[in-house]
Amino acid sequence: MRFTVRPMQKDDVPQVMAIDREAFPTQWPPPPFTRDLNNRLVRYLVAVDRSGGPDQGAEALASGERGNWQALLSRLRQWFTRESPVGGSGQEETVAGYAAMWLMVDEAHLTSIAVRKTYRRMGVGELLLICMIDLAIKLKARVMTLETRVSNREAQALYRKYGFSRVGIRRRYYSDDGEDAVIMTTENLTSELYQARLRRLRQAYADRWVPASQTLPSPLPD
Ligand SMILES: CC(C)(COP(=O)(O)OP(=O)(O)OC[C@H]1O[C@@H](n2cnc3c(N)ncnc32)[C@H](O)[C@@H]1OP(=O)(O)O)[C@@H](O)C(=O)NCCC(=O)NCCS
């Protein structure tokens, strides 16, 4: 699997800020990422590219990942020469996207999810959402809610896929342009129905994005 997911660390903050600025250019002020690292009510996850960056990954992806000798050789060269941004080279890892969640009693509020433009449509947003839902369940949240712009069709499609439904509208929620927000929420995350849906979606995700020899990344310890 090209991407892995883990909790955000201090060193990730500059990249996460850049992703946030690119995805939400009119949002001000930006979230207090560094301060939030010490806030027990907030959880951040980052999706990290293990392939060495968008270009190498795109090359591998375009030719089907497995069986691409050039991409494989380039990756091997990176590992042996320690050029790769991942794997203990001392260089920065490439953060492809991040997600943030607030925990309020038994409710998890997904406050943000954003993927670098160069990494969109590669399953990164979906992977982050799966991992956030897993984390919310682990932290005993009953439901997950969020707000999103009424015009944000891409995000709403992602959320609908994961069982979020529209439960209301917040008028003029966004202060930059006065756009309304749609409030979306899941059913009970631990219900048999939702768990079955999640199992189906995880399997479909794995069939589509995860090589047969690997497992779906998880930020949670076993
Ligand atoms: C929304 C966002 C996070 C999706 O990330 P992504 O990595 O590109 O999405 P994925 O490749 O994982 O796609 C997962 C699902 O999202 C939906 N989706 C993503 N991009 C879409 C698009 N351009 N059009 C329609 N649906 C889209 C689909 O349901 C897709 O499932 P499918 O592949 O089975 O159709 C990304 O577009 C983004 O960062 N947008 C800017 C920030 C933002 O608006 N965040 C949401 C704030 S509430």
Q: Which residues of the chain have pLDDT under 50?
A: 57-67, 69, 71-90
Catalytically annotated residue among 44, 159, 162, 194: 159
Q: How many angstroms separate the CA atoms of 82 and 52, rounded?
A: 11
Pocket of ligand 1 (CB under 6 A): 23, 113-115, 120-126, 148, 152, 154-155, 157-158, 161
pLDDT at 56: 52
Tokens of residue 135, six digits: 């984390």
The residues, any chain, with a CB within 8 Å of residue 158's CB and separated by 6 or more, are 113, 125, 126, 129
pLDDT at 112: 97
Is 22 a known active-site residue? no
pLDDT at 78: 47
Is 173 a known active-site residue? no
pLDDT at 176: 92
The atom of ligand 1 lying closest to the CA of 155 is: 1
User: What are the start-end ranges of the H helices in 5-152?
Assistant: 13-23, 33-36, 54-62, 69-81, 124-138
pTM higher than the cut 0.85 = yes
Q: What is the tens place of the pLDDT at every residue in 141-172?
A: 999 999 999 999 999 999 999 999 999 999 99
Q: How many angstroms separate the CA atoms of 31 and 78, rounded?
A: 34
Best residue among 27, 46, 101, 121 to mutate for probing ligand 1's pocket (most ligand atoms within 8 Å of CB) is 121
Nearest CA to ligand 1 atom 41: 23
Tokens of residue 57, six digits: 């990954």
The domains found in the chain, sorted by start residue, are 3-50+86-209 (3.40.630.30)
pLDDT at 217: 84
pLDDT at 28: 87
pLDDT at 220: 77
Beta bridge pairs of residue 101: 43, 110
Spatial CA neighbour of 94 closest among 8, 12, 217, 215: 12
Residues constituting the chain: 222
pLDDT at 38: 94
Nearest CA to ligand 1 atom 32: 158
